[in-house]
Each structure stands twice: as C-alpha cells, then as structure tokens.
Amino acid sequence: MRPAVLIPVAVVAVLILGLGAFGVTRLLSSDSTPTASSTTRTTPTSEDPAPSSTPESTPESTSETPSLTTAPSTAALPPPSTVTVTAPTPTTISGIEAKESYVCNDDEIVVSGIGNEVNISGHCLKVTVSGQRHKVFIDNADVISVSGIDNVVTYYNPNAQVDKSGIDNTVQKG
C-alpha cells in the first residue's frame, strides 16, 4: 500500500481501538445489579436539612438502572485561603520640560523623562519618580520611590514610606 493510504488507515485504526478500549472499560466498570453497597448514607450537617424519617432501603427489583455514586458534598468545607489581587496599572507621566497636573484616586503614578514639573493631588498608592531634573509635588501617597539624577520631590503626607536612590535627588516634606 502507498503511504498516502496507510496514514488515514492507521488513524482510523487508532480511533477504533481507543474508543473500543474506552467502551470495554466503561462496560466493565458499570455494575448491572444494584446491591446494598450502592446505597449512600449522608450525615446531616448544620447546612443540611433535617434527615427524613423514612428508613434507607435497598432497591427491590433488579430492573432498575443502578444509580451513580457521587463524591461527598463539599458545602461544609471553608472557602480556599488563596486570594488573587490584581495590581493596578500605573499611570505614566512622561515628557521633556512639561508641566502636568494629575488627580490621584488610589492610583500608581510613574513620572519619567527630563525636567518635568508635576503636581499630584488626591491619594496615590505609589508614586515613582525617575529620570532627570524633575520637580514633583505630591499631596498624599503611601509609597514614594525616587531614582535618577537631580530630582526634587516634595510630599505632604508625613506617613509616606520614602525610598530614595540615584544622584543628587532631594526628597522633602512640605
């Protein structure tokens, strides 16, 4: 046979064998007669309704379809302790010799470029200043990070966490 014919034949054979094995496995794993072991007992919890007064019984006829056994309820388990927090995307103020004003609403601000004068009012989570010769006035920020060369940052929140690096940067309370 030619290779162009052999490849589709091989694919069909693999599919038939795979589905056949799945069917045989499924057939062997199903139980055709219900037994007393197929009855599931549950213990009531504080979230479950009161147990009924009817006793548990085994199905009487063998013509019934066996019920599937399900995993125990996880309703009584506490919620997972993992919390996903998405960090805000910083707003960038950049340019050369520009004058900008920005009103913060729990934002993160990045000031970059050369020689900008920036007035930031409102509350910022974080203000990062990098570049050269900026004059930045910050009304209220939790964290202030300054790097670069010859930047002057004045802030008015006495509880701000300040991180300063770089050359000849000035960070002062206003």
Cα-based distances in Å from 77 to 45, 72, 81:
11, 11, 12
Tens of each residue's pLDDT in the chain, 174 residues: 555 555 555 555 555 655 554 554 454 554 544 444 444 444 444 444 454 444 454 545 455 555 555 555 656 666 666 766 666 689 999 999 999 999 999 999 999 999 999 999 999 999 999 999 999 999 999 999 999 999 999 999 999 999 999 999 999 998
Domain ranges in the chain are 91-173
SS3 readout for 15-53: HHHHHHHHHHHHHHHCCCCCCHHHCCCCCCCCCCCCCCC
pLDDT of residue 38: 41
